Structure 1
Amino acid sequence: MTHTEQLYWGGAALIVLWLVVFVLALAATRNGVVTPAPATQELGDDPEPPGVVALLGNQWRGVEHAAAATLLDLAARGLVELRQPGDDPIRTTVHITEAGRAARELKPYERRVLDRVIARAVNGGTPIGAIAFREDKRAAAWNTALRREIIAEARLRGLSRFRFGPLLGSALLFSAFVPGSLFTVAAVMGGHNIRAALFVGVAPGAALAYLLGKAMRERATPKGLERAGHWAGLRAWLTAHEDFAQLPPAAVTVWDRYLAYGTALGVTVLSGRLLGFDAGDRRRVWSLYGGTWRAVRIRYPRLRPGFGGTTPQLLWWAAAAGAVAAGLCAFAVLRQPDWSVAVDAGSDGSLRRPGLILSAGWVLSALLGLVVAGKFSRWTLLVAFLAMMPGNFADGSHGFFHDAAAHEGPLPGELAAVALFGALAVYYLVLACLERREPAAVTGEVLRMESRRGRQTARFLALDEGGTDRTTAWALPAASRDIATGAQVRLKVSPATRTIRSAELVRAALPEGDRPRAVPRNAS
C-alpha cells in the first residue's frame, strides 16, 4: 500500500472514529426524563415567566407560542389590554396601557414583544392579526432573536445549559477537520492541483461540522427537570378544564396568568393560534392605509394565462399556442388507417407497433402544449415515455388505436384540444392588443410581496388601494428591487395582464417593525 493510500485510509478511519465519539457524546448528553408532578394549580412563590415555561414544556427543543404567552402575561400584569368587541375572538384588539408605556424593568424578550405591539399600535390599539409580520425573513429573524433571549433567561435561572460543554464542543469541532488535512496531503501527493486538494480536505470537515451544529441544542439541568415536572402538573390541571383550550385571548381578564401559562404549555390552542408573531396569513393581511384598520383579503392569480406577460411574450405565446392547435388539427385530418398496423409473426423487432404513431402524435402535441404553458420539466419526459408504452406494446390491429386511426376526421378529444389551444392563441393576441393601451395609475401601500419559481418569473405584489377590503396581486418584474413591503407606491399598470410597468416610491417602508401611521386614502 502506497503512502497516498495509507493517508486516504487513515482519514477514513478518523471519520469513523469521530462519528463513534459523536454518537457517544449524544447519548451521554441526552435530556433527562421529566417526571410530571401531581396536577396542581399552584404557580409557586417565584414562578418562571411563561416564555421560559414554553422552553421547558417543549423539552428544550424550541419556544413555540412563547411570544403569544408573553403577550398574555403582559396583559395579566396590566401592561397591555385585550378587548373583544363581539363574539368573534379574531376581532380582538390589543391596547397599550399607561403602565405599559412607562414600563422599564422588563426582561429582553418581554421588551421585544411589547415593542412589537407598540410599533403596530395606532392611537394606542391594534387588531391582534396586525401584530404578525408581512415578510417571512423578518418574522424568522424576530423569532430567532426572541428564542435566543429566552434561552439566556433560562440559563440565568439555572434551568438550561449547552448540550456540549466548551471543551467537548471545541474538541469535536477541531477534530472534525483532521481527516480532511490527511485527504489534502494525499491529494497533493497524488498529483492533484491545489484546488482539488482543498476541496477534498474541506468537504468532510464541513459535513461533520454541520452535524455538530445541528446537535448544539439546549440541555436540561437537574433544576430544569424538576421545574419542568412542576409545570407538567399545571398542564394536567389546566387540561382537566374542558373549555380551557378554546378560551379567547380576552379571557385573560378572568383567568389572569393561567391563560398565559396554558398558552406556553400548548393547552390554550385558540389563543396560541390567534396571537401569531410569525409571517401571518398570506391571504388575509391587516392594513391601516386609509386611516382605519381593515382586514384585506388577497387573491393570487397563479393559474391566470398571460399573467405578468409583456407584449413580445404574449405574441410568442399566441404563436406557440396556434402552432400546437394547427399541428394537432393537421395530425387528426391526415391520419390514415395504416398508421395502426399489425406486427407479423416474423417481425424483426421493428419499433413500428400498432398505435405507436398515434401515441407519438398525441404525446408530441401534449409536450408542445406544456412548453407553451411553461410547465415543461425533466419529469415531463418520463411521463411522455410512459404515455408511449401502450402504443409500443399493442399486439393487434383491433382496439382503440385501430378504431382511432380508422375514424374519419378529428376525435372528440382532439377537437377539444384544438379548440382549447386555438382559444388560447386568440386570448393571447387580445391581451397583446390590450397591452398597447396607456397604462393605468394606481396608488397604495404594499401589503405583501412573494416570489415565484424561476429567476425570470414575475413576483406577486399585493397592493392596498384603500377603497375595498379585497385586492388581487399584481405581477412585479423579477428585476425590480426598489419596492419593499410597507412602502407606499404609485404604479403604472396594465390591467389586462396585471403587470406593473413602472413604480414610483411615494413613501419608503418604515424600519423596525413596520410601524404604521394613519394615512389618508388620497395620499400622493
Structure 2
Amino acid sequence: MTLTEQLYWGGAALIVLWLVAFGLALAATRNGVVTPGPATQEIGADPEPPGVVSLLGNHWRGVEHAAAATLLDLAARGFVELRQPGNDPARSTVHVTGAGRAAPGLTPYEQRVLDRVTARAVNGGAPIGAIAFRDDKRAAAWNAALRQEIVAEARLRGLSRYRFPLLLSRALMASGFVPGVLFAAAVVMGGHSVRGAVLIGAAPGGALTFLLGKALGERATPKGLERAGHWAGLRAWLTAHEDFPQLPPASVAVWDRYLAYGTALGVTSLTGRLLGFDSGDRRRVWSSYGGTWRPVRIRYPRLRPGFGCSTSGLLQFAAAAGVVAAGLCAFAVLRQPDWTVAAHAQSGGSLRRPGLVLSAGWVGSALLGLVVAGKFRRWTLVLAFLAMMPGNFVSGSHGWFVDAAAHKGPLPVELAAIAAFGALAAYFLALAFLERREPDTITGEVLRMESRKGKRAARFLVLDEGTTDLTTAWALPAASQGIATGAQVRLRVSRGTRTVRSAELVRSAMPEGDRVKAPKQGASS
C-alpha cells in the first residue's frame, strides 16, 4: 500500500472514529426523563416566568408560544391590558398601561416583548393581530434573539445547561478537520492542484461540523427536571378544565397568570394562535396608516400576464404570442391529409403517424414562441418530448388523431388556441401602449415585501394608501434598494403592469428589533 493510499484510509478511519465518539457523546448527554408531578394548581411563591416554562415544557428543544405567554404574563401583572370589544376574540386590542411605560425590573426577553407591544400601540392601543411582523427575516431574527434571552434566564436559574461541555465541543470541532488534512495531503502527493486539495480537505470537516452544530443545544439540569415535573402537574390541572383551551386573550383578567402558563405549556390553543409574534398572515395585515387601525386584505397577482414587465418585455411577449398564433394558423391551413399514413400501412416506427404529425406542429409552434419570448431553456426540450408522447404512442387506423389529421382546415381546438394567443398578443400590445403614459404618483405605507422565484424577478410590494381595505401588490424591480416594511414611500407606478417605476422615501421604517429608544436627557421638546 502506497503512502497516498495510507493517507486516504487513515482519513476514512478517523471519520469513523469521530462519528463513534460523536454518537457516544450524544448518548451520554441525552436529556433526562421528566416525571410529571400530581395535578396541582399551585404556582409557587417565586415561580419561573412563563417564558422559561415554555422551554421546560418543550423539553429544552424550543420556546414555542413563549412570546404570547410573556405578553399574557405582562397583562396579568398590570403592565399591559387586553380588551375584547365584541364577540370575536381576533378583534381584541392590547394597550400599554402607566406601569408598563415604567416597567422596572423586567428580564431582557420580557422587555423585548413589551417593547414590541409599545412600538405597535403608539396611539393608545393596537389590535392583537398588529403585533405580528410584516417581514419574515425580521420575525425570525426577533424570535431567535428572544430564545437566546430565555435560555440565558433558564441557565441563570440553574434549570438548563449546554448539552456538550465546552471542552468536548471544541475537541469534536477541532478533530473534525483532521481527516480533511490527511485527504488534502494525499491529493497533493497524488500530483493534483492545491485548490483541489483544499476543496477535498474542507469537505469532511464542513460536514462533521454541520452535524455537531445541529446537535448543540440545551439539556436539563437535575433542578430543571424537577421543576419541569411540577409544571407538568399544572398542565394536567389546566387540561382538566374543558373550556380552558378556547379561552380568549382578554380572559387573563379572570384567570390571571394561569392563562400565561397555560399558553406556555401549550394548553390554550386559541390564545397561542391569536397572539402571534411571527411573520403573520400574508393576506391580511393590520395597518394604522390613515389614523385608525383596520385589517387590509391583500391580493397577489401571481398569474396576471405582464405583471412587472417593461415596455420592451411586453413587446417581446406580444411578438411571442403572435408567433404562436401565426404558427398554429399556418400549420392548420397548410396541413394536408397525405402528410400522414395509417398505422397499419407502415412500420410501428413511422414518423408520419397522425398523432405524431399533429403533436409536432403544435409543439413546434409553442417552441418558436418560447424562443421569441426568451424563455427557452434546456429542460424545455424535455417537456416538448413529453408533450408529444400521447400522439406518438397512438396506434390503429381509427381514433381522434386519425380523424383530426384527415380534417381539412383548422380544428376547433386549433381555432380556440389561435384566438387565445391572438388575444394575448393584443393584450400585451395594449399594455405596451399604456406604458407610454405618464406614471401615476401614489403615497402610502409599505405593509409587506416578498421575493419571487428568480433573482431578476420583481418583488411584491404591498402598499396601503389609507383609502381602502383591499389592496393589490405592486411589482418592485429586484434592483431597488432602501425600501423596507413600515416605511412611508411615494411611488411612481404604471397601473397596467402594476410596476413601480421609481420610489421616494417619505419616512423611514422603525429600526430592526422595534426597540423604543428613550429620549436623551436634556433634549429639546
Q: Shift of the alpha carbon at 1:9?
A: 1.2
**Equivalences for residues 303-322 of structure 1 within 5 A:** 303-322=303-322
**Equivalences for residues 76-225 of structure 1 within 5 A:** 76-225=76-225
- Residue aligning to 1:472: 472
Q: 1:202 to 1:238 in 2, by over 3 A?
A: same
| Paired residue type of 2:246 | Q
Please give the alpha-carbon distance, in whole angstroms, between the structure 2 residues aligned to 1:107 and 1:120.
20
Q: Shift of the alpha carbon at 1:344?
A: 5.9
| Paired residue type of 1:445 | E
- Residue aligning to 1:67: 67
Q: Shift of the alpha carbon at 1:2?
A: 1.2
Unaligned runs of 5+ in 2: 517-525
Q: Deviations over 1:233-282 (max 9, x none)?
A: 21122112121111110000001111001111111111111111111111
Contact 2:316 2:373 in 1 (8 A): no
Q: Deviations over 1:319-348 (max 9, x none)?
A: 110110111121122222233323568849
Q: Deviations over 1:178-219 (max 9, x none)?
A: 000001111111111111111111111011001100010111
- Residue aligning to 1:484: 484
Contact 1:40 1:233 in 2 (8 A): yes
| Paired residue type of 1:385 | F
Contact 1:134 1:447 in 2 (8 A): yes
Greater Cα shift, 395-404 or 440-449: 395-404
| Residue 240 in structure 1 maps to residue 240 in structure 2 | yes
2:298 aligned counterpart, secondary structure: strand
Aligned residues with identical type, % of pairs? 80
Greater Cα shift, 3-12 or 351-360: 351-360
Please give the alpha-carbon distance, in whole angstroms, between the structure 2 residues aligned to 1:372 and 1:169.
57
Contact 2:340 2:352 in 1 (8 A): no
Q: Shift of the alpha carbon at 1:441?
A: 1.0
Q: 1:372 to 1:90 in 2, by over 3 A?
A: farther
2:230 aligned counterpart, secondary structure: helix
RMSD, matched Cα? 2.0
| Paired residue type of 1:491 | L
Q: Shift of the alpha carbon at 1:283?
A: 1.4
Contact 1:129 1:276 in 2 (8 A): yes
1:490 aligned counterpart, secondary structure: strand
Please give the alpha-carbon distance, in whole angstroms, between the structure 1 residues aligned to 2:322 and 2:329.
10
Greater Cα shift, 178-187 or 286-295: 286-295
2:39 aligned counterpart, secondary structure: coil
Contact 1:488 1:508 in 2 (8 A): yes
| Paired residue type of 1:355 | G
- Residue aligning to 1:338: 338
Q: Shift of the alpha carbon at 1:32?
A: 1.9
- Residue aligning to 2:226: 226
| Residue 458 in structure 1 maps to residue 458 in structure 2 | yes
- Residue aligning to 1:27: 27
Q: Shift of the alpha carbon at 1:387?
A: 2.7
Q: Shift of the alpha carbon at 1:15?
A: 0.9
- Residue aligning to 1:496: 496
- Residue aligning to 2:36: 36
| Paired residue type of 2:19 | L
Unaligned runs of 5+ in 1: 517-524
- Residue aligning to 1:519: none
**Equivalences for residues 397-416 of structure 1 within 5 A:** 397-416=397-416
2:388 aligned counterpart, secondary structure: helix
Q: Shift of the alpha carbon at 1:351?
A: 4.7
- Residue aligning to 2:324: 324
Q: Shift of the alpha carbon at 1:389?
A: 2.2
| Paired residue type of 1:227 | R
- Residue aligning to 1:267: 267
Q: Deviations over 1:24-62 (max 9, x none)?
A: 221221222222222221112322111011111111111
Please give the alpha-carbon distance, in whole angstroms, between the structure 1 residues aligned to 2:346 and 2:365.
33
Q: 1:409 to 1:260 in 2, by over 3 A?
A: same
Q: Shift of the alpha carbon at 1:145?
A: 0.5
| Paired residue type of 2:442 | V
| Paired residue type of 1:77 | R
Q: Shift of the alpha carbon at 1:475?
A: 0.9
Please give the alpha-carbon distance, in whole angstroms, between the structure 1 residues aligned to 2:362 and 2:32.
63
Q: What is the count of residue pairs matched by the alignment?
A: 516
- Residue aligning to 2:288: 288
**Equivalences for residues 47-66 of structure 1 within 5 A:** 47-66=47-66
Q: 1:378 to 1:265 in 2, by over 3 A?
A: farther
Contact 2:344 2:396 in 1 (8 A): no
Q: Deviations over 1:83-109 (max 9, x none)?
A: 111111111111111111121111111
| Paired residue type of 1:392 | N
Q: 1:27 to 1:67 in 2, by over 3 A?
A: same
Contact 2:68 2:272 in 1 (8 A): yes
Q: Shift of the alpha carbon at 1:366?
A: 4.3
Q: Deviations over 1:457-489 (max 9, x none)?
A: 111111111111121111111111122211111
Please give the alpha-carbon distance, in whole angstroms, between the structure 2 residues aligned to 1:368 and 1:75.
65
Please give the alpha-carbon distance, in whole angstroms, between the structure 1 residues aligned to 2:237 and 2:376.
57
- Residue aligning to 2:384: 384
2:47 aligned counterpart, secondary structure: coil
Greater Cα shift, 64-73 or 371-380: 371-380
Greater Cα shift, 353-362 or 19-28: 353-362
Greater Cα shift, 458-467 or 41-50: 41-50
Q: Deviations over 1:145-178 (max 9, x none)?
A: 0000101111111211111111211111111000
Q: Shift of the alpha carbon at 1:395?
A: 3.1
Q: Shift of the alpha carbon at 1:384?
A: 3.0
Contact 2:354 2:405 in 1 (8 A): no
Please give the alpha-carbon distance, in whole angstroms, between the structure 2 residues aligned to 1:373 and 1:242.
61
Q: 1:156 to 1:371 in 2, by over 3 A?
A: farther
Q: Shift of the alpha carbon at 1:300?
A: 1.1
Please give the alpha-carbon distance, in whole angstroms, between the structure 2 residues aligned to 1:374 and 1:266.
52
Contact 2:474 2:498 in 1 (8 A): yes
Greater Cα shift, 247-256 or 467-476: 467-476
Contact 1:296 1:470 in 2 (8 A): yes
Please give the alpha-carbon distance, in whole angstroms, between the structure 1 residues aligned to 2:418 and 2:145.
57
Please give the alpha-carbon distance, in whole angstroms, between the structure 2 residues aligned to 1:376 and 1:65.
47
Please give the alpha-carbon distance, in whole angstroms, between the structure 2 residues aligned to 1:255 and 1:431.
59
Contact 1:341 1:355 in 2 (8 A): no
| Paired residue type of 1:161 | R
Q: 1:117 to 1:406 in 2, by over 3 A?
A: same
1:511 aligned counterpart, secondary structure: coil
| Residue 421 in structure 1 maps to residue 421 in structure 2 | yes
Greater Cα shift, 405-414 or 53-62: 405-414
Q: 1:376 to 1:93 in 2, by over 3 A?
A: farther
| Residue 6 in structure 1 maps to residue 9 in structure 2 | no
Please give the alpha-carbon distance, in whole angstroms, between the structure 1 residues aligned to 2:25 and 2:466.
58
